Chain A
C-alpha cells in the first residue's frame, strides 16, 4: 500500500504534466505551421538576427 501512495500521485502528475504541455503548445501556436517548422531548420542564417 505504501508504494501506491507514491506511485499513483506520480502517474497522475506525469499525465497532468503531459496535458499541460499539450495545452501550452496549442496556446502558443506550435501547431499553426507544421510544414513551415519542418523547413525552417534548413534556412541558413547568414547574419545574426
Chain B
C-alpha cells in the first residue's frame, strides 16, 4: 500500500525498522500531509512516515522499541485523531483488480496495434502484404489473448467443471474459436482474419471487469477508513503492579483489566473495584445505560461510560458473548452466497441460445452445400457478433456510475450484487438504538441555560473526549454557543470536568444520584447548579425516510433488542409495527420468517447484535457510526447522520436496474439486426469491429445517464 522509496530512507542499517499503519480520518489538505509527515519524522525512533491521502492512512517505519501507543499519542499531539489499523478483514489485497488492469493494458496494446494492421487490410492491402499483416497480427494476438484472456478462461473452466455456465463460457468459446480459425486463415492465406475482433472483445470486457473491481475497492477503502478499532485489547495489570496493553486474544481468565471511561471491554468479567454506567446498546440494543458496581458481571463489547473500573476476566476469546454472535453471523451469512447476479442469469439464457444459433448456421450452410471451411467461417462470425460484448459492459458500467454517484452522497456500496439486491427489496427492518436513533447522547433541552452558562458548559465539554461531553459539545455548537475563557481546566475520570471562570469555580460533573440509569450532568457555576438531561435522539428525516420507502412499495418495521417500552415509544411516534427485546438469534429468525413468506428483507442495523441479522437479510445497510462488525456485515454503509440515504439508495438501485435492463434491450436489439447478417454470411471482420465498438459505446453512454441519479 505504501510507496516503498521513502520508508527506511534515513533508518540506519544496524536496527531493522518495523512498519505499522494508522488511520487518520481528519486529514483534509496538503498542510495536514506535511504536518503529519514532518511531525512524525521528528519523533525519536521514527525512521520515516508516509501519508496515503486517498486511504486517509499513514504508514510509519519505526524502531521496534517505540510502541504503537507512543506513535498514536504522537499523532494525537499533532492534532489528529488516529487509530491503529491491524488485521483488518476488509483490507484483502487488491491483487485481483491489479491483475485485471494489467490484462486490460496488454489487451489495449494488442488491440491498437492489430487494428493498425487490420485497417490497412480493410482498405485494400492484398497478396503478400495482406498475408504479412495477418502473420504480424497473429504474432501480436496470440500472446495477448493468452495473457489477457486468462481471467475469462479460468472462470469459464471453473463453471464448466461444476456443470454450470456463466457469461465467461460463451466469451471463451467465441474468442478461442475466432483465434483458431483466424490462425488457419493466416496459414492458408485466406482473406478474413478476426484477430482484431477477438482482442477488441477482450479489451471491452476487461474494461467492464476493471470498473467493477475498482468500484469494489473504493467502497472497501471507504469502509475500512470508518472502522474504529480493529485490534481490541485491554490494559492488563501484571503481578508486579505494572500495566501493559494486551491484545484481546492474549488475555487470560482471572487477569485484571483496567477499563477507562470511554473504552469498550475486550472480555467478559466481574467488576472488582469502581462503579460506572455501561452502554450495552452495541451488544443488546438496549438504549439506557446500566449502572454496575463491584461484583456485577460485565460483558465484552459493552462500553464503559462514566468512571474507571477494574474488571477480573471470567471468559475470553471464543467463550465471550461476542464470539457467540460471531458464530451466529457465520451461519446466517451462508445462504447469502446463493444469489445469482443478473449478468449470470442472463448468460444462462443467452449462452445456449448463441451456441445453438452458431451450430445451426454451421449445419445449415453445410446442408445448403457450402464447404466445411466456409460454413465454419460463418459459424464463427455468428459467435463473434453475438459475443456478449455490450452485455458484459451493460451491468458493470451502470453499477459503477451509480455507485460513484452514491459515494458523493456518502453511501458506500460494497459491490454490484448489493445494488441488484437493493433494487429488489420489498420490506425494510430497522434496528432502533444507533440506527433510528443517533446512538450518541444529546442534551434533551438547553433552553433553561443562559448564554453565559452555555459558554461555560461548552468550554468545559470541549476539553473532554467522554461521550457525554461530545454530545454536549454538538448540542451547544448547533445552538450557536461560543466557549468561555476558562483557566485550570482538569478532568477527573468518573467525576467530570472542573475549572475556573474568572474568579468563580465551575464544574461539569455527574449528578449525586443517577436515577434509573438515565444520563444527566450537573453544571456548577459558583453556587448555581443546573441539571442537564441527556437522551438518544432520533436521526433526522426518519419520518421522511419511512414515507419515501412506503412510496417505493417498501413496508417498514422496527426490530430491536431494546425494552418494549422504549421501542414502543419510537414505533408509536413513527406509526410502525415493531418487535422488541429481540436477541440476535430472534432477529435472524424474524428475517427467516419473512423470507419464507416471500419477502426480500432490507435490514438496517448498526450494533454487534445486528451482525447476524445483517448477514442473514436479503440485503443490508449500516450507518457509518455502526460497530465494526455491523459495517463489515452490511452490503452498504451510509456516513450521514440522516436516515435519508436508505431511501435514496433504494431509489438509485432501482434506477440502475432500469438502466441495466435498457442496456440489455439495446444489446439484444443490436443482435436482432446483426445476427441475420452473420447468418447470411455477410459479416466481414470490418463489420464485426464496427458493430462491436458501436454497441459498447451506446451501452456505456446510456449508463452515464446515471451520474445524476443521486441528486
Residues of A that sit less than 8 Å from B by CB? 1, 4, 8, 11-12, 15-16, 18-19, 22-23, 26, 28-29, 32-36, 39-45
Q: If A29-B3, A43-B30, A43-B34 touch, does A36 touch B53 (CB 8 Å cutoff)? A: yes
> Which 3 pairs, one residue from A and one from B, show the smallest C-beta to C-beta distance?
A36-B53, A42-B30, A39-B30
Task: Report whether A15 and B1 are in contact in the complex, using a CB–CB cutoff of 8 Å.
Answer: no
The residue on B at minimum CB distance from A18 is B109
Task: Report whether B30 and A40 are in contact in the complex, using a CB–CB cutoff of 8 Å.
Answer: yes
Task: Report whether B30 and A35 are in contact in the complex, using a CB–CB cutoff of 8 Å.
Answer: no
**Whole-angstrom distance from the CB of B21 to the nearest CB of chain A?**
13
What residues of chain A lie closer than 8 Å to B1, measured between beta carbons?
32
Task: Report whether A15 and B109 are in contact in the complex, using a CB–CB cutoff of 8 Å.
Answer: yes
Task: Report whether B33 and A39 are in contact in the complex, using a CB–CB cutoff of 8 Å.
Answer: yes
What residues of chain B lie closer than 8 Å to A22, measured between beta carbons?
105
Task: Report whether A16 and B54 are in contact in the complex, using a CB–CB cutoff of 8 Å.
Answer: no
**Whole-angstrom distance from the CB of B226 to the nearest CB of chain A?**
17
What residues of chain A lie closer than 8 Å to B112, measured between beta carbons?
15
In the complex, whether B14 has a CB less than 8 A from a CB of chain A is no
Which residues of B (115-155) have their CB < 8 Å from a CB of A? 116-117, 129, 132, 136, 140
Majority secondary structure, B binding face: helix
The residue on B at minimum CB distance from A14 is B113
Residues of B that sit less than 8 Å from A by CB? 1-4, 29-31, 33-34, 51-55, 98, 101-102, 105-106, 109, 112-113, 116-117, 129, 132, 136, 140
Q: If A15-B113, A23-B102, A26-B98 touch, does A39 touch B2 (CB 8 Å cutoff)? A: no
Q: Tell me, in angstroms, the Cα distance from A16 to B4 when the chains sit together.
A: 26
Q: If A12-B113, A33-B3, A44-B34 touch, does A19 touch B53 (CB 8 Å cutoff)? A: no
Task: Report whether A23 and B30 are in contact in the complex, using a CB–CB cutoff of 8 Å.
Answer: no
Majority secondary structure, A binding face: helix
Task: Report whether A29 and B4 are in contact in the complex, using a CB–CB cutoff of 8 Å.
Answer: yes
Q: Tell me, in angstroms, the Cα distance from A16 to B3 when the chains sit together.
A: 25
Q: Tell me, in angstroms, the Cα distance from A26 to B55 when the chains sit together.
A: 17
Q: Tell me, in angstroms, the Cα distance from A44 to B98 when the chains sit together.
A: 33
Name 29 interchain pairs, CB-CB below 8 A, sorted by A: A1-B129, A4-B132, A8-B117, A12-B140, A16-B109, A19-B105, A19-B109, A23-B102, A26-B98, A29-B2, A29-B3, A29-B4, A32-B3, A32-B52, A33-B55, A35-B54, A36-B51, A36-B52, A36-B53, A36-B54, A39-B29, A40-B30, A40-B33, A41-B30, A42-B30, A43-B30, A43-B31, A43-B34, A44-B34
Q: If A32-B3, A32-B54 touch, does A8 touch B31 (CB 8 Å cutoff)? A: no
Q: If A34-B54, A36-B53, A40-B33 touch, does A11 touch B105 (CB 8 Å cutoff)? A: no
What residues of chain B lie closer than 8 Å to A40, measured between beta carbons?
30, 33
Q: Tell me, in angstroms, the Cα distance from A32 to B98 when the chains sit together.
A: 11
What residues of chain A lie closer than 8 Å to B109, measured between beta carbons?
15-16, 18-19
Q: Tell me, in angstroms, the Cα distance from A41 to B140 when the chains sit together.
A: 40
The residue on A at minimum CB distance from B28 is A39
What residues of chain B lie closer than 8 Å to A45, measured between beta carbons?
34
Q: Tell me, in angstroms, the Cα distance from A23 to B98 when the chains sit together.
A: 10
What residues of chain A lie closer than 8 Å to B98, measured between beta carbons?
26
**Whole-angstrom distance from the CB of B669 to the nearest CB of chain A?**
35
What residues of chain A lie closer than 8 Å to B129, measured between beta carbons?
1, 4
Q: If A26-B101, A36-B33 touch, does A11 touch B4 (CB 8 Å cutoff)? A: no
What residues of chain A lie closer than 8 Å to B117, measured between beta carbons?
8
For A28, A36, A42, the residue with the greatest tally of chain B CB atoms inside 10 Å of its CB is A36
What residues of chain B lie closer than 8 Å to A12, measured between beta carbons?
113, 140
Q: Tell me, in angstroms, the Cα distance from A14 to B53 when the chains sit together.
A: 33
What residues of chain B lie closer than 8 Å to A42, measured between beta carbons?
29-31
The residue on A at minimum CB distance from B35 is A43
Q: Tell me, in angstroms, the Cα distance from A45 to B41 when the chains sit together.
A: 14
What residues of chain A lie closer than 8 Å to B116, measured between beta carbons?
11
